[in-house]
Structure formats: structure tokens, C-alpha cells
Amino acid sequence: MRIFPEGEKIRVKNYDLKGVYKEGCDTLFELIGSKYHGSNTECTCWVFWKGIKTYLTNSIILGYNDYKVMDSGIDPETGKKLWGSQWGHLEFKRQTSSAGRAGLL
């Protein structure tokens, strides 16, 4: 991932595990209140799901102590959601580490 400022917004460019840039999969973030809100900027981030070509849509809310994300795969021909969260954002909370507690970041 690489981060680039764009005026009042921040663009995050995504790469696969081999370091190859994933064209069309950028996420654009904007600071709203005390949290960054982001989504992908194009409908060209292709993901194959059960042999079907879908495009990824995402919604991200990033705060100091929390991270919320919702990804969905959309059929480009029908516009129908084929995969992803059915009940809203997945929510993650920052964990604090302490001596003697392994595995926490």
C-alpha cells in the first residue's frame, strides 16, 4: 500500500502480495470530524468469486481506536451484490498490549 495526498483527501494505492499495483483498487479517504472515511473511487477493482468476475465496492471508517470496513462484490452486468457483509461494517477495536500477553499488537 502507498499513500498519496490529493488536496484535502488521501489516496491509498493497493498492491497484491507480490507488490504488483492493483489498477482500479485505490481507496480515497476524507477526514470527517475525527475519523477518515474512505471508499474505492472506481468500479474497476476486479475480484473473482466462485468463478464469477465481480467488482469490489468498499466503505471504510478509520479512527484512532477503531476500524470499520464493508466490502461487497457486485456483478457488473446486473449490479446485484453477490458477496460481502450482509449486516453492515465489520468492526475492529484497537487492542492494548501489556507485558505477559502475547499476540496483541
Report domain extents, the chain.
Answer: 2-93
Report the relative pairing of strands 35-40 and 46-49 from DSSP bridges. unpaired
Per-residue pLDDT tens digits for 3-48: 999 999 999 998 988 989 998 999 999 999 999 999 997 889 999 9
- Establish how many alpha carbons lie within 13 A of residue 41's alpha carbon, considering only the half-sphere containing its beta carbon: 15
Q: How many CB atoms lie within 10 A of CB 51?
A: 5
Q: Are 16 and 3 in contact (CB under 8 A)?
A: no
Strand blocks (E) in the chain: 2-6, 9-13, 27-32, 35-40, 46-49, 52-62, 66-74, 81-84, 90-93
Can you read off the three cell numbers belonging to residue 102?
A: 502475547
Instruction: Answer whether CATH 2.40.128.590 is correct for domain 2-93.
Output: yes
Percent of the chain with pLDDT over 70: 91
pTM of the predicted structure, to 2 decimals:
0.78
